[in-house]
Chain A
Amino acid sequence: MDPVRASARDIARAVNAREISAVEIAETMIPHVASVDEHLGAYLTLTPDLMREHARRVDARIAAGESLPLAGVPAAIKDNMCLLGTRTTCASKILEHWIAPYTGTAVARLLDAGALPIGKTNMDEFAMGSSGENSALGKTKNPYDLDRVPGGSSAGSASAVGGFAATISTGSDTGGSIREPAAFCNVVGFKPTYGRVSRYGLIAFASSLDQIGPFARSVEDVAMTYDAMGGHDPMDATSVDMPFETTAGHLREDLRGVRVGIVKEFATSDLAPDVAAAYEKAYADLAALGAELVEVELPTAKYGLSTYYLIAPAECSSNLARFDGVRYGLRVDGADVGEMYEKTRAAGFGPEVKRRILIGTYALSSGYYDAYYVKAQKARTRIADDFRRAFAKCDVIASPAASSPAFAFNAKSDPYSMYLMDYYTIPVSLAGLPSLSIPCGSALPEGGSRPMPLGLQLASPLFSERALLGYAHAYERATQHAAKLAPVQVVTS
């Protein structure tokens, strides 16, 4: 077994069966990742010592008779998740040297399930961005074309898995930050229902939208990772206290009897011709698996972007206030405490973060609150209602995960064109629904020489993770799109 290319399922099976040790896997992965990452830039911090320590612990537990669902599976962790003793930066200068003094719940559960931490992955600063380019600490590249972006904000987590520099990884998704980079990097990325995975230890961007989810190269690996991380956590008051349905053992092979909603307002004519053709083919493949395609309407989905860009900045303007130079992180001295705040935050935050803090502060200000924040909350409710109505007619909604395949670095210079990348994912986030992106073919991007991966977004009703991953598995098994593309040579060699 090649630990670099093997699935999480196969690694865990082999380690539990003691055919290979977790330490052997770690010793293979550590030099491999170090070398590949010179090209990818997926990681901000590599944690080889910690990986070895966990590998030894996993081997000892297995020797003691335990069976671990993710035994020896190499995992990358997005750098907005706290891991005790490890630098946790949010790819921001303000936290560049901050060492987390505790481990967040989702990461702790992943490691307890036997996963081995390879390192912390690059991202758009504070998870704000759709290309990875907003990182203040590094440039992550797309493993399928190093001149193109990996997507964002979970840039490094998608790039590492797509580029075989991790078997699984964690991402966080606020408006599409798992699904869009998954689509760009030819991997499966899954955002569970809001409240399914604890946010304790996830550095907040927009609290009412942030949700942790996994990346992997197969639906089954995604399901295993989600099963390990999910479930109620008393440390997160928004984590739902209801029975947790595992998913990995409930994947299905066909789509007979499943009604797939195709959204009237998301016409493929809005897309580039070969991108549109790929999605038309994907919908036809779903039907070929036995699904009934039905047209559904989401008339308010077009207000998703403007709604999101009021609610998310409003919450972030408050969430990011704590980075003030008083207790931790960057401090730039000033004549008094007010000047210290100003200088610290001016030096510590990048332009996109500042833009959103300003938008959010404005939206919450006295005199504007009702016109902006309250109205956006009402729109959010209407969008969620639209989905509820649509799900009366269908079991799952299929759409593009992103508006285009991965674009070149510096191609989206104005913020609004970048925001448009998340046109299809944001309404789903506002409704809190579980959704994922799964490879569904490829298209030659504008100015590109290599076909780049595309992702199909599937979204289903609240708390229907088991059904959703089942549909995705049936589609993956029938189409095998991920295997049709290979990363660039320097990554695979």
Chain B
Amino acid sequence: MKISYKLTLLILLVVLFLASAKKAEEPPKGKELVDLILQFDNVAGNKDLVLNSVDYTNASGESFNVSQLQYFVSNMKFLCPNGKQFTVNQEDSYFLIQEHEPATQTLKLKVPAGEYNKLTFLVGVDSLRNTMPIDKRKGVLDPSNSMDNGMYWSWNSGYIFFKMEGTSNAAPEDPTGNRRFRYHIGGFGGYSARTINNIKAITLDLSKGGIVKVKKGRNATIHIKADILKTFNGASNLSIAGHPSVMFSEYSVNVANNFSKMFFHDRTVN
């Protein structure tokens, strides 16, 4: 009697576990993970972004060039037309995109074969990872990596999510005599006291530009453009003259809201 009760309970638990596992993030087809590429291309309006040598104009009519562009993307999730979804293994989902290092713009992900019509990701690093023990900070999140790239605030523990610097005649002269703008945007919401949260969730609908059909050996590639002009032009236009330097401040929320609109799906190569 006792044994059969235990057995029943065990079967019930197994069934429940399987059911819940199925309901959660079950890969659409099979369990084998295959390659999917996210290719980021940073642009300025309809021009390709070129560091230092090319001038662009923002909505405030200010001419500027860009000397540095870096941002973190993380926590990718893919949605299928049938409503199922797949979350990329979180440990493998942190990337630092750097305009000066073209190799960083190609993100190799592992997902189950299948069709996906939507992609979501974060610009920045989730709050949990910002507060994790130091031994959980690997790859681009390792202090010897992100800090050396200037993408970590040691004094206010947390990653810098987005960094763009450049030169503009609209910027006031700084103490070095240069006219530069500096945007260092971060803030994960605070550890023991609440503060600004500039983590941005991006959703890209792939149906117009082509849904992705992931197959083994095909290296399906989703091309994403990031238009840096959107950093300036948005719900509140960012003027270089008015805000030549935006770092950890309330105003940074406006800049983050602007750049959260800079990503769009260009095309898919299946």
Say whether A associates with B: no
B residues contacting A by CB (< 8 A) are none
A residues contacting B by CB (< 8 A) are none
